């Protein structure tokens, strides 16, 4: 079974631009979560999607949005980029998103905002 | 507001010895806890978990201990191996929520 795939691997943008990150979950997994990792901050929850519906959201501004398609693939969008958005963005999938399910993470997209 | 804290950014241990990684949390509603390991340029991978109805869970060389009254959990690795060198994250969630709170990570270095 292929793992969680995130594209692109690296991205360089300038302030004010917008960016779209993509995530393909493990086949059969219907829950996709997004996390932001910054040095010293650990992983911070952005949002979770299941069957094309956002079920849970973290404490991020509205510039961060996402969506999920019928094939469970998910995209995350960040508009009006700020320097502080530079981070590793990780996508994780699980079968149903139930609490006792472990998350399977992709390798992440490293976003640099200049 | 960091609800899960790993106060040791790094830990260095000799091969064959025990590694103990610690994690504290503030939310008494957390009832499911996990440890993830992360190598550079890779995503975190699941290591071991524990629910609040237990105080210990073992999987091979890895054991997680949970002290609910102290809101503290720890990961023991015995014996430590050089391949265990990675960043370890603890995470917690409330029952029926699919949102995990992660600590900031502890970088473990196991010296040969």
For residue range B51-93, list pLDDT tens digits in order.
999 999 999 999 999 999 999 999 999 999 999 999 999 999 9
Instruction: Determine the distance in angstroms separating the CA of B104 from the nearest CA of chain A, rounded to an integer.
Output: 4
Q: How many Cβ atoms from other residues are within 10 Å of residue A52's Cβ?
A: 13
Residues in chain A where the model's pLDDT stays below 70 = 1, 99
Q: What is the DSSP letter of B2?
A: -
Mean pLDDT of chain B: 94
| CB-CB under 8 Å, B49 with A43 | no
Q: Which one of B32, B42, B103 has the shortest CB-CB distance to A42?
A: B103
Q: What is the DSSP letter of A41?
A: T
pLDDT of A1: 66
Per-residue tokens: A12: 């360089």
Q: Which one of A43, A44, A102 has the shortest CB-CB distance to B49?
A: A102
- Tell me the pairing of strands A10-13 and A109-113: parallel
| CB-CB under 8 Å, A92 with B98 | no
B96 pLDDT higher than 70: no
Q: Are A45 and A90 in contact (CB under 8 A)?
A: no
pLDDT of B1: 66
Average pLDDT over residues B24-47: 93
Average pLDDT over residues B37-57: 93
Per-residue tokens: A114: 């200049």
A36 to chain B, any CB pair closer than 8 A? The answer is no
A58 to chain B, any CB pair closer than 8 A? The answer is yes
B97 pLDDT higher than 70: no
| Chain B residues closer than 8 Å to A33 by CB | 98-100
Q: Which one of A31, A43, A98 has the shortest CB-CB distance to B102?
A: A43
B1 against B58, higher pLDDT: B58
pLDDT of A75: 98
Q: Which one of B9, B95, B98 has the shortest CB-CB distance to A56?
A: B98
Cα separation, A9 vs A22, in Å, equals 10
B106 to chain A, any CB pair closer than 8 A? The answer is no
Q: What's the distance, Cα to Cα, between the start and end of chain A in Å? A: 37
């Amino acid at each position: 079974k292929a793992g969680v795939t995130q594209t692109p691997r690296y991205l360089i943008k300038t302030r004010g631009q917008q960016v779209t990150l993509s995530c393909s979950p493990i086949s059969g997994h219907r829950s996709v979560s997004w996390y932001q990792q910054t040095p010293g901050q650990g992983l911070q929850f952005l949002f979770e999607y299941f069957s094309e519906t956002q079920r849970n959201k973290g404490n991020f501004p509205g510039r961060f949005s996402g969506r999920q398609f019928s094939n469970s693939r998910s995209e995350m969008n960040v508009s009006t980029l700020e320097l502080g958005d530079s981070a590793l963005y990780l996508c994780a999938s699980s079968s149903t998103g139930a609490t006792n399910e472990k998350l399977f993470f992709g390798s992440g997209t490293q976003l640099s905002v200049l | 507001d960091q609800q899960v804290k790993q106060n040791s950014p790094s830990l260095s241990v000799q091969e064959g010895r025990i590694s103990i990684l610690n994690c504290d949390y503030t939310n008494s509603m957390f009832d499911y806890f996990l440890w993830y390991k992360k190598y550079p340029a890779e995503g975190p991978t699941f290591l071991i978990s524990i629910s609040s109805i237990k105080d210990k869970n073992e999987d091979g060389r890895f054991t997680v201990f949970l002290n609910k009254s102290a809101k503290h959990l720890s990961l023991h690795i015995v014996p430590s191996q050089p391949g265990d060198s990675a960043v370890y994250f603890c995470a917690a969630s409330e029952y029926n929520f699919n949102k995990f709170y992660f600590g900031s990570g502890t970088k473990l270095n196991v010296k040969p």
